[in-house]
């Protein structure tokens, strides 16, 4: 995070925890307002990797699960980077700004992904770098977010999910959410001005409430705890436009394609509510009901992808679960208290996966 941006946020009331904005003085209120009101959020907890060079697009096309070459300056896409066994090392949003490709992913995933990508550059004319200080980033969400953003920028943002608009020096991406939701990227001064304009009628919130919006939208985030845990289809990446089955080869492509055309999906990602007030860490196991039918938990049925406190007093989470165990019910978290885990609706259908 740029020191000037951190100082700017501190003056705005931000309180930090482990390098990210935890809240702006009232965590409970922020978690209430994020699902119903207009909010802004610092997105410095997301890191950036930039790829430049004449062969950047071709290089990334050979590494990632989605069709990188179909991207232009007016679109973005979800994407993933897999092992040869088809397991996701990381997933991210990919977009183009100027002459560069940018991967937006958790800050603590930048170094391992960057290190692995550089192993395969060889003689390709591409430069990869940590772009954390290159662009300031913030999020805007809410029932009136589109109008607030248009007033602040002097022009409308993108109308469709994954759409991109470049408003002067600021790049705006529309992302899924329970309300219109946008990510904005730009240099320090224009982004300070944008924050100040939006801060008039939008409440600032911390990183946790923003992550809750991803959970409600059914958008998974691979973290160090879940890296290499899931094939893309297990985390519904094919349902949110994160996999192309028509592009050429990339690491893990055979496994991903085989599961799509020949295999039967045995695990998929669900949205769940957990009967507790304390969010479990990514990777925490979920247990199936015991085979005997009593109230005791049985064998492992899946694991948490991400979890955040919900305004209703429980925890909202995304979890990859065995389909049979999810349909049987009786799930519990593998913690000492063993709170119940209940399935909730996702904003998209499993029909594509079933077909």
Tens digits of per-residue pLDDT, 167-190?
999 999 999 999 999 999 999 999
Write down the mean pLDDT value for the chain: 94
Least confident of 153-167, 263-277, 281-295, 322-336: 281-295
Domain that holds residue 195: 1-219
CA distance 116 to 112: 6
Query: For 119-163, how does the pLDDT look when each residue is reduced to its tens digit (9 = 90+)?
Result: 999 888 999 999 999 999 999 999 999 999 999 999 999 999 999
Instruction: For residue 355, tell me if it sits in a domain.
Output: no
Instruction: For residue 350, tell me if it sits in a domain.
Output: no
What's the pLDDT score for residue 1? 86
Instruction: For residue 45, tell me if it sits in a domain.
Output: yes
Instruction: For residue 225, tell me if it sits in a domain.
Output: no
Return the sign of the alpha-carbon dihedral for residues 239, 241, 242, 246: positive
What's the pLDDT score for residue 259? 87
Closest CA to 184 of 197, 174, 176, 193: 174
Query: For 10-28, how does the pLDDT look when each residue is reduced to its tens digit (9 = 90+)?
Result: 999 999 998 899 999 999 9
Residues 212 and 73 in one domain: yes
List residues bridging with 268 in a β-sheet.
321
Specify the CATH number for the domain of residue 48. 3.30.1360.120
Instruction: For residue 352, tell me if it sits in a domain.
Output: no
What's the pLDDT score for residue 19? 85
Residues 196 and 160 in one domain: yes
Query: For 52-78, how does the pLDDT look when each residue is reduced to its tens digit (9 = 90+)?
Result: 999 999 999 999 999 999 999 999 999
Query: For 290-317, how does the pLDDT look when each residue is reduced to its tens digit (9 = 90+)?
Result: 754 555 567 999 999 999 999 999 999 9
What's the pLDDT score for residue 122? 84
What's the pLDDT score for residue 187? 96
Return the sign of the alpha-carbon dihedral for residues 304, 308, 313, 318: negative
Higher pLDDT among residues 223 and 292, named by residue = 223
Residues 147 and 245 in one domain: no
Specify the CATH number for the domain of residue 325. 2.40.30.160
Instruction: For residue 180, tell me if it sits in a domain.
Output: yes
Instruction: For residue 188, tell me if it sits in a domain.
Output: yes
pLDDT band at 354 (very low <50, low <70, confident <90, very high): very low
Residues 144 and 256 in one domain: no
Query: For 237-273, how does the pLDDT look when each residue is reduced to its tens digit (9 = 90+)?
Result: 999 999 999 988 999 999 999 988 887 889 999 999 9
Q: Give me the number of domains the chain comprises.
A: 2
Residues 130 and 215 in one domain: yes
Residues 212 and 238 in one domain: no
Residues 18 and 165 in one domain: yes
Residues 63 and 129 in one domain: yes
Residues 161 and 188 in one domain: yes
Residues 20 and 154 in one domain: yes
Domain end, chosen from 219, 249, 283, is at: 219
Residue 355 predicted with pLDDT over 80: no
What's the pLDDT score for residue 73? 93
**SS3 sequence of the chain:** CCHHHHHHHHHCCCEEECCEEEECCCHHHHHHHCCCCCEEEECCCEEEEEEECCCHHHHHHCCECCCHHHCCCCEEEEEEEECCCCCEEEEEEEEEECCEEEEEEEHHHHHHHHHHHHCCCCCCCCEEEECCCCCEEEEEECCCHHHHHHHHHCCCCCCCCCEEEEECCEEEEEECCCCCEEEEEECHHHHHHHHHHHCCCCEEECHHHHHHHHHHHCCCCCCCCCCCCCCHHHHCHHHHCCCCCCCCCCCCHHHHHHHHHCCCCCEEEEEEEECCCCCCCCCCEEEEECCCCCCCEEEEEEEEEEEEECCCCCEEEEEEEEHHHHHHCCEEECCCCCCEEEEECCCCCCHHHHC
Domain end, chosen from 188, 219, 250, is at: 219
CA distance 145 to 230: 33
What's the pLDDT score for residue 353? 46
Domain end, chosen from 219, 250, 265, is at: 219
Residues 215 and 243 in one domain: no
Residues 183 and 246 in one domain: no
Instruction: For residue 351, tell me if it sits in a domain.
Output: no
* Under 8 Å between Cβ of 236 and 353: yes
List residues bridging with 205 in a β-sheet.
41
What's the pLDDT score for residue 123? 82
């Amino acid at each position: 995070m740029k020191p000037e941006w951190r100082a700017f946020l501190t003056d705005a009331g931000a309180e930090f925890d482990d390098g990210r904005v935890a809240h702006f003085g009232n965590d409970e209120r922020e978690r209430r307002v994020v699902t119903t009101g207009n909010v802004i959020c610092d997105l410095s907890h997301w890191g950036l990797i930039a790829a430049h060079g004449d062969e950047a697009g071709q290089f990334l096309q050979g590494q990632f699960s989605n069709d990188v070459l179909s991207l232009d300056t007016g679109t973005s896409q979800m994407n993933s980077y897999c092992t040869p066994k088809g397991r996701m090392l990381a997933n991210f949003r990919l977009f183009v700004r100027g002459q560069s490709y940018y991967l937006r992913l958790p800050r603590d995933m930048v170094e391992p992904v960057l290190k692995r990508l550089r192993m395969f550059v060889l003689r390709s004319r591409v430069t990869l770098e940590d772009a954390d200080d290159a662009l300031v980033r913030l999020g805007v969400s809410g029932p009136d977010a589109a109008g607030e953003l248009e007033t602040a920028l002097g022009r409308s943002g993108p109308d469709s999910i994954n759409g991109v608009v470049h408003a002067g020096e600021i790049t705006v991406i529309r992302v899924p959410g329970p309300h219109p939701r946008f990510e904005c990227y730009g240099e320090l001064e224009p982004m300070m001005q944008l924050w100040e304009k939006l801060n008039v009628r939008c409440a600032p919130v911390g990183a946790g409430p923003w992550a809750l919006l991803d959970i409600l939208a059914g958008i998974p985030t691979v973290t160090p705890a879940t890296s290499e845990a899931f094939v893309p289809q297990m985390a519904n990446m094919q349902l949110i436009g994160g996999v192309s089955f028509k592009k050429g080869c990339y690491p893990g492509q055979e496994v991903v394609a085989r599961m799509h055309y020949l295999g039967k999906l045995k695990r998929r990602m669900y949205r769940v509510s957990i009967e507790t007030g304390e969010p479990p860490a990514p990777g925490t196991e979920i247990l199936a009901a015991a085979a005997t039918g009593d109230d005791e938990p049985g064998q492992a049925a899946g694991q948490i992808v991400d979890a955040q406190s919900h305004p209703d007093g429980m925890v909202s989470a995304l979890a990859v679960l065995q389909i049979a165990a999810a349909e049987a019910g009786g799930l519990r978290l593998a913690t000492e208290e063993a709170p119940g885990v209940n399935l909730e609706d996702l904003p998209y259908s499993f029909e594509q996966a079933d077909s």
